[in-house]
Structure 1
Amino acid sequence: MIPINKREKPKVLTDALHELRSTPSAVVCWGEVRNQRPIREALCREQGGLCAYCMRRIDPDSSHVEHIIPQSACEPGQDVAYDNMLAVCDGNEGAGDGSALICDRARRDRALVVNPLKPETLRGIKYYGNGKIDSDDEAVRKDLNETLNLNCEAAYLPQNRKAAIEALNEWMKSSASRRSIVSACKKRRDGIEESELKPEYAGALLYFLDRRIRRG
């Protein structure tokens, strides 16, 4: 999980809300917003094409809108507020087993402490070479392991993170001499952070790049 910087609200959402508010007896809520695909497009762009929680690849057709404050707990207008929206994956919904659900499908409407829109909640997150995600903060650890189920082996999350980490380690071994490896890692880290289309499991990659940079 990495911080997400919200961009300007898409015009299509502004127009949709104006239409609803101009229509007598219309209910202003997310379910009444027509043509939601351009909104998913905007969310996917600002997230670098990654699910806000598990960091798997998503696009406007394979994602849906998640509300940080659950719709069941929203005050009037909160469920159509762009700064309350994220794009997330399908949550492994086709797995046929509730224990295999991840991200918002596992979360349902439970409150979260961890929040990619609040970088301070992400600072204690760490990754292991086996692909597991964890946190020093007990509440965040519960969100990662239970509420969002981000160590779900049935969804291949640890396995796929491990593969990404191992590929990064191989790159570190072969890319540069010890004298220049820090510079190479900084360049790669900056490339990930600035990229419009980020690599899958970018959170784990950035974690290990930063760790290598700190070692000097």
Structure 2
Amino acid sequence: MKRVIKGTEPALFTQWKALANEGWTPSYSILRNPEKQALHDSLLREQGYVCCYCGNKITRESSHVEHFRPQHHFVHLDLEYTNLHASCQGETEDPKPAHCGHSKGNKFDENSNVSPLDEDCESRFRFTLIGRIEATDTDEPAENMINILALDISFLNNRRKEKLEGIFDNEFLASFAIEELEAIIQRYRHPRDGQYEAFDHVIARYAEQLLGR
């Protein structure tokens, strides 16, 4: 999971919601452009153009606006900006296999979840060199999120494996210094020109694991 630090919702979105009156109630189902596009673009920017769940690179076309707490069960959070993220797999795509927001759908347990907004969300997951994702220790909510988001499918494992092996090859692992790991963390925790590359957080997290964090 990729941590998201929320910014301010776009003005167009705020102004559209403020039009509510006795005869008209705004809801996500009737949100249209340009307000919907402004919302989507805002979410992409604050996430550095990567999915909030798997960390893969996304664009407006390859992502959708995701309700962390599903609309079906949390109607009052339908337009709550803190509940909205950008998740990979666009609304018009036929995801095979489905993962992240498309896999989660309406599945949600208020007592067993990890949110991208949680300060410690990334440290609650671990990665292996072959790209597998695991819950840290016996973290049941983290394990639950891996399952409902399908974060451990072969498609994602293979992409993460390729990225990890490009940095942590046998030569590096045989002779790395603490300073090198700290430099990797510093580099991959910060976007370049406002954007991350796919699975940057996985690289940073694996370096942290080598440091025993």
| The two structures share one fold, judged by TM-score above 0.5 | yes
Secondary structure of 2:85's aligned partner: strand
**Other-structure match for 1:102:** 99
- Could you say which residue in structure 2 is the equivalent of 1:192? 188
Call closer, same or farther: CA 1:2–1:172 in 2, change over 3 Å. farther
Q: Deviations over 1:139-174 (max 9, x none)?
A: 321220x21111112xx1000100000011149729
Once residues 70 and 102 of structure 1 are traced to their aligned partners in structure 2, the CA distance between those partners, rounded to angstroms, is 15
**Counterpart of 1:187 in structure 2: which amino acid?**
A
Identity of aligned residues (%): 23
Q: 1 CA distance for matches of 2:184 and 2:58?
A: 22
Letter in 2 for 1:26: W
| Residue aligned with 1:106, SS | helix
Corresponding residue number in structure 1 for 2:143: 141
Question: Aligned AA for 2:153?
Answer: C
Supply the distance in 2 between the matched residues of 1:57 and 1:192 (Cα, whole angstroms): 14
Whether the 8 Å CA contact 1:91–1:106 is kept in 2: the answer is: no
8 Å CA contact 1:130–1:159 kept in 2: the answer is: yes
TM-score (norm: length of structure 2):
0.84
| Cα displacement (A) at 1:188 | 2.9
Unaligned runs of 5+ residues in structure 1 are none
User: What's the counterpart of residue 169 of structure 1?
Assistant: 168
Partners of 2:185 and 2:59 lie apart in 1 by 23
Flag the structure with higher helix content: 1
TM-score between both structures, scaled by the size of structure 1: 0.83
Tell me, yes or no, if structure 1 residue 38 matches structure 2 residue 38: yes
| C-alpha distance in 2 between matches for 1:172 and 1:186 | 18
SS at 2:65's partner residue? strand
Q: CA deviation at 1:68?
A: 1.1
Unaligned ranges ≥5, structure 2: none
Q: CA deviation at 1:95?
A: 4.7
Other structure's SS at 2:24 match? coil
How far has the Cα of 1:91 moved from its partner? 7.0
Q: Is residue 178 of structure 2 the alignment partner of residue 182 of structure 1?
A: yes
Q: CA deviation at 1:2?
A: 2.3
Q: Residues 2 and 202 of structure 1 are in contact (CA less than 8 Å); yes or no, is this contact kept in structure 2?
A: no
